[in-house]
Amino acid sequence: MSQVPARGESAIAPASSLPSYLQADNLGPWGNYLQQVDRVVPYLGNLARWAETLKRPKRILIVDVPIHMDDGTVAHFEGYRVQHNVSRGPGKGGVRFHQDVTLSEVMALAAWMSVKNAVVNVPYGGAKGAVRVDPKILSRGELERMTRRYTSEIGIIIGPNKDIPAPDVNTNDQIMAWMMDTYSMNTGSTATGVVTGKPVDLGGSLGRHEATGRGVFTVGAEAARHIGLVISGSRVAVQGFGNVGGVAGKLFAEAGAHVVAVQDHGGTIYREAGLDVPELLKHVKETGSVSGFAQAEVIANDQFWDVDCDILIPAALEQQITATNAGRIKARMIIEGANGPTTPDADDILQERNVLVLPDVIANAGGVTVSYFEWVQDFSSFFWDEDEINARLVKIMKGAFAAVWQVAQENKVSLRTAAFIVACTRILHTRELRGLYP
């Protein structure tokens, strides 16, 4: 027989009674996120009573995604859509196709989206989706069928006013076009606002392709100004050279920086005097990797962390900077283009070494900011030109960075903790204002 807690006792279930995927000692990205939340609770004041809200996703949907393969067989893939928090608005977050994706990863990514959207103050909650598959082994027809089936399976919880997917790892504007069409066919009317990151001809926004990388550069330049680091002539190392790392690398090079090292799934290249970034981008577009770029020397992947640089941009996957390699990094500043690339233990090491870390929840928020612009434009059927998009993006990113920097200085905490203070305060204040129903 269950007992009602006595007056003054907590009704919150002890951690040991929670499902394993909600516990902080569960290894993986979700555990990292929970540690980040624990660090910010002491700064939340009266809102700390709502902190448990941040540790429990609102909704987790796991779906089977069966499709006909080209050879006549039927294959099954596991799909996810996690809505972490929707107190501030509909869920918002990308969809990734990757063979190693886990529920812990998708949960953490959804939670980081809640924080990210609140940091830049766009009216969204956090969500994320994924299918556990290597899309490179699928034909175009198989990829389309899988995308459409996955969209149909999660269609019960997504929608322009409910949850809006977007591109992420191994997904792009074509995937979003298929998702939009599938949702529209199932609902009986064209719903351009159900996804963002679409082709421009289907209601996509100008400037969306470069938005995340442009945001990385914008906050990086602002932070550099605060610590007296001159961008022109600085040395930059980039991990991941796609839409985020490639664009950020290009913008830093255009500002006079020397991109000396780049690493991606194909290997690591280095050039002491700086790589020719436009030529490297052309090479990556033609071959799919930095591997084989003639104007650079190849170095071992592990040597990437030893490169002498001023700015390091991890723009690949989660948990790349760990306690094992954090002590080797020579950069003065790390700009997290990827989601969750630095573990909490590594954060502590970097802070002790006075390495400034610009956390993912603000550094790579340019993408969701322009996704918000796209969503607004879809609803109004009025579209802005690219100069206006970029100007609005830069204004929001600079304002968000200034707010986070001020909180960090006032509380003498890292920029990550400061970003979480800003975001979690906004999320929980909204939760408190809305109350609990019923």
Q: Tell me if residue 436 falls in helix, strand or coil.
A: coil
Active site residues: 128
183 and 316 both lie in a single domain = no
Could you tell me if 213 and 356 lie in one domain? yes
Q: What are phi and psi of 159, to 5 degrees?
A: 160, 160
Contact 129, 154 (CB under 8 A): yes
Structural domain includes residue 178: yes
**How many domains in the chain?**
2
Cα 417 to its chain centre, rounded Å, is 17
Tens-binned pLDDT, residue by residue, of the chain (438 aa): 444 444 434 344 444 455 555 555 556 889 889 988 999 999 999 999 999 999 999 999 999 999 999 999 999 999 999 999 999 999 999 999 999 999 999 999 999 999 999 999 999 999 999 999 999 999 999 999 999 999 999 999 999 999 999 999 899 999 999 999 999 999 999 999 999 999 999 999 999 889 999 999 999 999 999 999 999 999 999 999 988 999 999 999 999 999 999 999 889 999 999 999 999 999 999 998 998 998 889 999 999 999 999 999 999 888 899 999 999 999 999 999 998 899 889 999 999 999 999 999 999 999 999 999 999 999 999 999 999 999 999 999 999 999 999 999 999 999 999 999 999 999 999 999 999 999
The CATH number of whichever domain residue 319 belongs to comes to 3.40.50.720
Residues 289 and 265 sit within 8 Å (Cβ to Cβ): yes
Structural domain including 103 reads 57-189
Q: Within this chain, do residues 134 and 260 fall inside the same structural domain, yes or no?
A: no
Burial of 150 (0-12, 13-18, 19+ CB in 10 A): buried
The answer to whether residue 287 is domain-embedded is yes
Is residue 277 domain-resident? yes
Report residue 259: phi and psi, to 5°.
-85, 105
- Asked whether residue 170 is assigned to any structural domain, the reply reads yes
Side-chain-facing half-sphere of 250: CA atoms under 13 Å: 19
In a domain, 317, yes or no: yes
Q: Do 316 and 217 have their domain in common? A: yes
Kindly state whether residues 85 and 126 are assigned to the same domain. Answer: yes
Q: Are residues 167 and 74 in the same domain?
A: yes
Q: Are residues 150 and 274 in the same domain?
A: no
Specify whether 173 is located in the same domain as 283. no
242 shares a domain with 156: no
Q: Could you tell me if residue 398 is inside a domain? A: no
Whether residue 1 lies inside any domain: the answer is: no
Do 171 and 317 reside in the same domain of the chain? no
